[in-house]
């Protein structure tokens, strides 16, 4: 590849990035224009420049970084628990009749329940510390992971299973070498659905019960009538969500590079 080709590829990449972010830039400019010219009251929508200044101050002071660490730690801890249990339960339900008899009704009834409604119950049972937050996150994320793992396992091509059995493959090796790889795309899709759920539950629980984190930092801004802190925290929340989503997409591409 010569220099001209490298420049052309670089120019195309820059142009593509500009196209994909143009609408976001327009919204941010309208935000700044409307707030600076008094179209919206400062308390409801402070100027973007003030929000970014507050974001910088919170970052330099360490408050934003500490809150982000707490939120991400809780969300990922609950998500990991949900993934382990959800994958195991989902695959068992797909491959075992007794497990299906027991778990299928529980999954179908539990999945539609709004998990946020269980916040008071978990506060009663486990208090307002990390344990109650992580357990509720695990419960909320369990359902999409289990459902996708179950459906993906049931959808595995039976010809693959029969072919492996005809070659004398044991049940354990069949699961590891045939079923899990074939069901992996559906399982990871369930984890991708569960990721934003883990963040939503974390933010809401932190706003309700305190204990630090981005949700708590945001509600402190409301209580102190510092709207710029509220929006700065929202920006941090969006950055965290975007970063975790992109990270999971990269992991999916790496794990499923054979698909």
**Is the pLDDT score of 3 beyond 60?**
no
HSE-CB of 127 using CA atoms within 13 angstroms: 4
Percent of the chain with pLDDT over 90: 47
Domain boundaries, the chain: 1-40, 48-255
Mean pLDDT, residues 126-133: 90
Mean residue pLDDT across the chain: 85
pLDDT of residue 251: 86
> For the whole model, what pTM was predicted?
0.85
pLDDT band at 37 (very low <50, low <70, confident <90, very high): confident
pLDDT at position 234: 92
Closest-CA residue to 51 (of 227, 234, 228, 235): 228
Instruction: Give the torsion sign (CA, 159, 164, 168, 171).
Output: negative
Question: Do the Cβ atoms of 235 and 162 come closer than 8 Å?
Answer: no
Model confidence at 156: pLDDT above 90? no
- Of residues 146 and 164, the one with the higher pLDDT is 146
| pLDDT value for 171 | 61
Res. 6 pLDDT band, cuts 50 70 90: low
Over residues 230-250, the pLDDT tens digits come to 999 999 999 999 999 999 988
CATH code reported for the domain at 48-255: 1.10.3720.10
Number of H helices, E strands in the chain: 11, 0
* Distance in angstroms (rounded) separating the CA atoms of residues 104 and 113: 15
Q: Is the pLDDT of residue 14 over 90?
A: no
- Predicted confidence (pLDDT) per residue in 182-229, tens digit: 788 899 999 999 999 999 999 999 998 888 899 999 999 988 888 999
Nearest to 221 by CA among 70, 43, 74, 22: 43
Residues 36, 47 contacting (CB under 8 angstroms): yes
For residues 182 and 158, give the distance between their C-alpha atoms in angstroms, rounded to a whole number: 11
CB count within 10 Å of CB 149 equals 29
Query: pLDDT over 70 for what percent of the chain?
Result: 84
């Amino acid at each position: 590849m010569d220099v001209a080709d490298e420049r052309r590829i670089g120019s195309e990449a820059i142009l593509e990035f500009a196209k994909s972010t143009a609408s976001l830039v327009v919204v941010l400019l309208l935000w700044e224009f409307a707030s600076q010219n008094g179209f919206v009251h400062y308390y409801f929508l402070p100027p973007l420049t003030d929000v970014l200044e507050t974001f910088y101050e919170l970052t330099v002071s360490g408050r934003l970084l500490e809150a982000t660490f707490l939120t991400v730690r809780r969300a990922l801890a609950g998500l990991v628990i949900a993934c382990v249990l959800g994958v195991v339960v989902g695959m068992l339900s797909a491959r075992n009749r007794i497990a299906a008899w027991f778990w299928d009704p529980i999954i179908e009834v539990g999945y539609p329940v709004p998990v946020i409604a269980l916040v008071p119950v978990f506060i009663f049972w486990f208090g307002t510390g990390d344990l109650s937050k992580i357990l509720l996150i695990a419960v909320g994320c369990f359902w999409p992971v289990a459902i996708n793992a179950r459906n993906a396992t049931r959808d595995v091509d039976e010809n693959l299973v029969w072919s492996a059995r005809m070659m004398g493959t044991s049940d354990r090796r069949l699961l590891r070498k045939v079923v899990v790889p074939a069901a992996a795309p559906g399982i990871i899709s369930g984890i991708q659905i569960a990721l934003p759920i883990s963040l939503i539950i974390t933010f809401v629980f932190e706003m309700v019960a305190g204990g630090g984190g981005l949700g708590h930092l945001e509600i402190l801004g409301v209580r102190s009538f510092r709207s710029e802190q509220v929006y700065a925290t929202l920006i941090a929340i969006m950055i965290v969500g975007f970063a975790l989503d992109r990270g999971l997409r990269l992991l999916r591409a790496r794990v499923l590079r054979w698909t």
